[in-house]
Structure 1
Amino acid sequence: MDSYERPVEGAPVEHEIEIKRSRFITLIGRARDEAEAREFIDAARARFPDARHHCSAYLYHVDAANPVERSSDDGEPSGTAGRPMLDVLRGSGMLDIVAVVVRYFGGVKLGAGGLVHAYGGAVSETLEKVPRVTRALRELYSVDADHGVAGRLEAELRGRGYAVVDTSYGAQVTFTLALEPGGQETLDAELAALTQGAVASKAAGERWVELDRA
């Protein structure tokens, strides 16, 4: 996998529905690992301490391995909450995502089928409100330029759509650019045209980057 979508970083998205007097409050946010997922779930428990259930599901990317997936029914009948929540998250195509559904019981039992529908539906409705960003694996290339031309060169590169992910200052200014695989030849041609052949790029490994949204 060299790219995937995940929630935009920031405040979680919240959405509430009511089914037979039970309130289902869904919170969805970003979690890049187990610790962040647990922190998100714990924050939901702290915010709604008097709720009957705090059901959860999350999945996150791991390099060179299958995504990690976890879910919890938190006292609901087995398989009626966490699993349908996880199924909906999986179907969204996103990773690095965590969902908590907080339930305030309204006095009317929903039955197993009703619970599956309620928890899955709560997450599905909330997902429609979650802004996404693409995370992609990119090749890195460094470009060294004299201080006198560095500002103009960086502006020209950005104007041509290149992602400048780092800038460092020493005897020269070094830009680190993130490119799609196979993009070095085009980059060097543009650099040659901009600097009369004085500047070329050097391979600098690879990195996961978030792509600018249109």
Structure 2
Amino acid sequence: MNSNPYLILETPVIFEEEIKKSVFITQIAPTSSVDEAKSFINDVKRQHASARHNCWGFIAGRPENSMLWGFSDDGEPSGTAGKPILAQLSGSGIGELTAVVTRYSGGIKLGTGGLVKAYGGGVQQALKLVQTIEKKITTLLRLELDYSLITIVQTELSKFHADEVSADYSDNVVLVVEVELNQADVLTQSIINKSGAKVMVSKVRNN
């Protein structure tokens, strides 16, 4: 599993332009799964039910994971809408986003080259408007320790910016903490070293 963080959208954006009497409305939204992407696409289709075309592309995970990409020309000539939309999204380096470009036709034919330019260009312009945040990949660690080791462990957790998720104080202390995946092994080794291997550390699951 790739543990490096990647960029995602902070909020949705809309870009609208008119080309040869056709109105193109590009909407891009953060979508963290294929189901979320399809839900957003369906929302836009309902919103613009009277439009001739609602073409789309999505990246439903890490930006480089092409297994979670999708696109549709929605009635436009093959290759003139969905692929140019997806090409702009994949070139942005941003993950977990969906773009839907709605076209209200003005009766003037744009030709295949004109359509590619219009659909890809709309997404390109919309991407200039987006604000991004970093999505960190985290994992959960379970720590079992004696009460005498709490101070040592908490010092190490603080150093690695690990967040306590739960704590159970009974015979021993059992903590579940969340830490960035690419720091988990280093944190584990550090705790083992500082405690003289008296803390039991195990991975719970990957988020």
TM-score range, shorter chain: 0.7 to 0.9
CA distance in 2, matches of 1:162, 1:104: 50
The CA deviation at 1:84 is: 0.7
CA distance in 1, matches of 2:61, 2:8: 13
**1:82 corresponds to which letter in structure 2?**
G
> Matches of residues 26-45 of structure 1 in structure 2 within 5 Å?
26-45=26-45
Whether the aligned pair in 1 keeps the contact of 2:9 and 2:97 (CA below 8 Å) is no
Whether the aligned pair in 2 keeps the contact of 1:4 and 1:135 (CA below 8 Å) is yes
SS in 1 for 2:108: coil
Paired positions, count:
198
> Matches of residues 144-159 of structure 1 in structure 2 within 5 Å?
144=144, 156=155, 159=158
- Residue of structure 1 in register with 2:87 after alignment: 87
CA distance in 2, matches of 1:175, 1:39: 34
1:75-124 residue CA offsets vs partner (Å, 9 max, x unmatched): 21111101111111121233332111111223332211111011111111
1:149-171 residue CA offsets vs partner (Å, 9 max, x unmatched): 979965x5564242326224452
1:17-42 residue CA offsets vs partner (Å, 9 max, x unmatched): 23223222111223333322211100
- Residue of structure 2 in register with 1:162 after alignment: 161
- Residue of structure 2 in register with 1:99 after alignment: 99
CA distance in 2, matches of 1:27, 1:51: 14
1:118-160 residue CA offsets vs partner (Å, 9 max, x unmatched): 1111111222333142343x55432346899979965x55642
Distance of aligned partners of 1:152 and 1:67 in 2 relative to their CA distance in 1, 3 Å threshold: same
Alignment partner of 2:189 out of 180, 185, 204: 185
Structure 2 unaligned spans of 5+: none
Whether the aligned pair in 1 keeps the contact of 2:56 and 2:99 (CA below 8 Å) is yes
- Residue of structure 2 in register with 1:143 after alignment: 143
Whether the aligned pair in 2 keeps the contact of 1:31 and 1:97 (CA below 8 Å) is yes
> Matches of residues 43-62 of structure 1 in structure 2 within 5 Å?
43-61=43-61
The CA deviation at 1:7 is: 2.3
- RMSD (Å) for aligned C-alpha atoms: 3.3
CA distance in 2, matches of 1:91, 1:167: 40
SS in 1 for 2:88: helix
Whether the aligned pair in 1 keeps the contact of 2:156 and 2:190 (CA below 8 Å) is no
> Matches of residues 12-27 of structure 1 in structure 2 within 5 Å?
12-27=12-27
SS in 1 for 2:86: helix
CA distance in 1, matches of 2:85, 2:190: 44
CA distance in 1, matches of 2:135, 2:18: 32
What is the TM-score normalised by the length of structure 2?
Answer: 0.76
Whether the aligned pair in 1 keeps the contact of 2:140 and 2:176 (CA below 8 Å) is no
Whether the aligned pair in 1 keeps the contact of 2:59 and 2:95 (CA below 8 Å) is yes
- The more displaced of 118-127 and 88-97 is 88-97
CA distance in 2, matches of 1:16, 1:157: 51
- Residue of structure 1 in register with 2:135 after alignment: 134
What is the TM-score normalised by the length of structure 1?
Answer: 0.74
Report percent identity of matched pairs. Answer: 33
The CA deviation at 1:174 is: 1.2
